[in-house]
Structures are given as C-alpha cells and as structure tokens.
Amino acid sequence: MKKIAVLAGDGIGPEIMAQALKVLTAMKLPFEYEEALVGGAAYAAFGHPLPKEVVELAKRSDAVLFGAVGDFKYDTLPRHLRPEQAILGLRKALGLFVNLRPAVCFPELTAASSLKPELVSGLDILLVRELTGDVYFGQPRGKRISPDGAEEGFDTMRYAVPEVERIAHVAFKAAMGRNKHLVSVDKANVLETSQVWRDTMIRVSKEYPEVTLEHMYVDNAAMQLVKAPKKIDVMVTGNLFGDILSDEAAMLTGSIGMLASAALNEIGQGLFEPSHGSAPDIAGMNIANPLAQILSAAMMLRYSLGMEEEAVRIENAVKTVLAQGYRTGDIWSEGCKKVSCSEMGDAVVAAL
Ligand code: IPM
Ligand code: MN
C-alpha cells in the first residue's frame, strides 16, 4: 500500500484537490491517503504554515499531492509565517531539487493562447527548473542599514558546482529522451553565479555528446518564448529564472490552469502540484479549473509510483473531456460547454 500525503492548502486548493482525489479513487488504486493542513490554513489552525508533523508526514509518504498556498490576508505576516513557506519548506526538507514543468498546448485549446495559433499549436516544452538553490535559499539575506545610512534589503544569489551538476544531468537525460536539444538559461554576461552555471553545463555536456547544448541569456529566453516557442524543446535554468519563465511558458498554452508540475529528489520521492497559485479571488466558487491538479496526480503516478499506464489513463481522460467540449471559465470559448470545477472532475471520471 503506497502512502500519499494530501496537502490541499489555501484558496482553490481544496476544491481542485477534491477533483483529483475523485479521479484517483475512481481508479481504485492501492493508496492510503493522509490529509493535512498547510499554508494559510495551517497558520490559522496551528500558528505555523508548515507544522513539523506535516514535514514528518511528507517524509514518510511515497509522494505528496499538493494543492496551492497563499492568500492576500497573510501578506502582512513576517516572512517565516507566510503561506509560501509551506511549499519552500517542503522543497528544502525533502531535497526536491528537480522541478519539471511541462508546457504542452492541447490542440483543442490553441485558440485560448494569447499567441497566434500557428505559433503554439503542437507546442511541447519541458522546463527543468532547479528548485532548492539560487537566490531563493542563498544566505545571508535580510534587512540592514547600508554604509550611507539607508535601510536596504539584500539576498544572496549562489550556486555551488555540485548543485548545478546534478540538475544538469537531469536536464541532459531528459533531452536524450526527447529532441536531444537543450537550452540552458542564465545571465552569464552579468552574474558570477551564472558563469559557474554555464561553465558547469558545458563540462557536463561532454558526457552527453549527442545533445546539442545552446546557451541563452534570460532576457533573450523570455523573448524567444513568445517569438518562436516551438524552437524550444527542453530548457534548464536556475530557481528564480525558472519561476519566471515557467509562468510565461505556461501562458503560451492557453491557461495556467492546465499545467501540472513535479518536484523530485534523488530517491524519486516527489511533490506534485499545479503550476498555478491559490487564486483566492475565486476560492469557494466552484469555478476553478481542476485539470492541472488532476494532471499533477498523473505525474505523481508516473514519476514517484512507477504507474505509467495509469498516468496515461488520466491524461487520455483529460484529452477526452477537452475533445467533448467541456470547459471551465478560464479556457471557455464560443460553442463549448461551460462547466464548474466539480462537473469537470465528474467528466474526467466518466472519461477514464
Ligand atoms: C511556484 C510559486 C512558488 C515559487 C512560490 C509560491 C513560493 O510561484 O511554485 O512557481 O516561487 O517557487
Ligand atoms: Mn511561480
């Protein structure tokens, strides 16, 4: 019996998680689910966004299915108590240094993209984001008084060679399984951290002679993603650039409400979550798109539980409901059936 930690979180998290659980339950998989509060919900109940018990639960689980965290009402809390610390803390505690963020444009949704259909139809990018280093975790950081007496905030951008090496291997292996073309994104014209990143990528590339390695500065990468996204197959980058570029890549596909993501560690444990946030503005209205959460469950079956066939079954069911014309508001267009969050979940179950 595999153990799944279910952490729905805040905002639309519980609504979309309910749909993913509906799908998994309908498939009668041999899982034991244990739910717990995280993010703002955990802060409200226990005074901390990531209680120790939740870290322990995640560690003894085979996989973590995560919803979303964050709410405007917690924006004024000190940083260590904000909902976002739940996801950052879990990434760190489990050593989830790999973040796979596929940006796939489903043919039925081509019209929902803000780019011209011919630029995005058939788009299939895999963004590999390093997830436990960079300016997100670099020390020191804080507030201080600068030599000329002004208050300043500061953070540390850093990457050690071994951290870059291990994500490089993940990216090169992914490229080997796809088009054998890897774009590495950095800002080596300005940043020392990026020079170490680039030098390491070049060194690791020698072990993958079949893969063509291309370097792109992050500003250019942002431009290429909207100019000619289909020229990109696998893209690897650091934590901060990856955060920004993955939202951009996601939007190319029509809606960020469609995209799943996987965060993995060295031993194959993973945390699976939608690429989107908690959308507190529409929470509780039963109108959110649950497909990214459902597709996250599929990624969980594939990457942490070795259930490729079952993963494909969910992905095919999602394709079926799109072909049948079911749409939540974010992806709706003329002539389609507008459905609620729970109706979309029911449609996926019916299509399994
Ligand atoms: C993401 C989110 C997180 C990040 C936040 C919620 C801390 O934006 O998963 O992309 O910046 O990594
Ligand atoms: Mn983000």
Indicate the domain borders of the chain: 1-97+265-352, 100-263
Query: Which residues, 6+ apart, have CB-to-CB distance to 314 below 8 Å?
Result: 23, 27, 294, 295, 297, 298, 301, 348, 352
Residue closest via CA to ligand 1's atom 12 equals: 243
pLDDT computed for residue 255 by the predictor: 81
User: What one-character DSSP code corresponds to residue 145?
Assistant: E
Query: Which residues, 6+ apart, have CB-to-CB distance to 7 below 8 Å?
Result: 35, 36, 37, 38, 54, 58, 64, 65, 66, 67, 86
Distances (CA, A) of 2 to 53, 64, 307: 19, 11, 12
- Ligand 1 centroid vs 116 CA: distance in angstroms? 28
CA distance 5 to 235: 30
**Closest C-alpha among 173, 181, 135 to residue 156:** 135
Q: Which residue from 88, 129, 155, 240 has its CB within 8 A of the most atoms of ligand 1, so it is best to mutate? A: 88
**Closest C-alpha among 244, 258, 330 to residue 296:** 258
**Number of the ligand 1 atom closest to the C-alpha atom of 273:** 9
Q: Is the minimum distance from the CB of 243 to ligand 1 under 6 angstroms?
A: yes
Active site residue 187: yes
Along the 352 residues of the chain, how does pLDDT read in single tens digits? 999 999 999 999 999 999 999 999 999 999 999 999 999 999 999 999 999 999 999 999 999 999 999 999 999 999 999 999 999 999 999 999 999 999 999 888 888 888 999 999 999 999 999 999 999 999 999 999 999 999 999 999 999 999 999 999 999 999 999 999 999 999 999 999 999 999 999 999 999 999 999 999 999 999 999 999 999 999 999 999 999 999 999 889 888 888 899 999 998 899 999 988 999 999 999 999 999 999 999 999 999 999 999 999 999 999 999 999 999 999 988 899 999 999 999 999 999 9
Active site residue 219: yes
Residue closest via CA to ligand 1's atom 6 equals: 84
- Ligand 2 centroid vs 71 CA: distance in angstroms? 15
Active site residue 233: no
CA distance 56 to 97: 19
Q: Is the minimum distance from the CB of 88 to ligand 1 under 6 angstroms?
A: yes
Residue the block writes with tokens 């034991």? 32
- Ligand 1 centroid vs 243 CA: distance in angstroms? 7
The type of residue at 203 is R
User: What one-character DSSP code corresponds to residue 335?
Assistant: T
Residue closest via CA to ligand 1's atom 7 equals: 84
- How far the first Cα of the chain sits from its last, in Å, is 22
- Ligand 1 centroid vs 319 CA: distance in angstroms? 27
Cβ(265)–Cβ(170) below 8 Å:
no
Residues belonging to the binding site for substrate are 91, 101, 129, 219
Active site residue 155: no
Choosing from 124, 155, 233, 243, which is the catalytic residue?
243
Q: Is the minimum distance from the CB of 84 to ligand 1 under 6 angstroms?
A: yes
A 10 A CB-CB count for 225 gives 23
A 10 A CB-CB count for 156 gives 13
What DSSP line would sit under 293-333, residue for residue? HHHHHHHHHHHTS--HHHHHHHHHHHHHHHHTTEE-GGG--
- Residue 128 bridge partners (DSSP): 100, 236
Q: Is the minimum distance from the CB of 247 to ligand 1 under 6 angstroms?
A: no
- Residue 213 bridge partners (DSSP): 182
154 phi, psi to nearest 5 deg = -145, 150
Same fold for the pair 1-97+265-352 and 100-263: yes
Distances (CA, A) of 276 to 12, 16, 156, 188: 10, 11, 26, 29
pLDDT computed for residue 329 by the predictor: 93
> Domain 100-263 class?
alpha beta
Choosing from 43, 187, 303, 326, which is the catalytic residue?
187
Q: What CATH number has the domain spanning 1-97+265-352?
A: 3.40.718.10
Cβ(257)–Cβ(276) below 8 Å:
yes
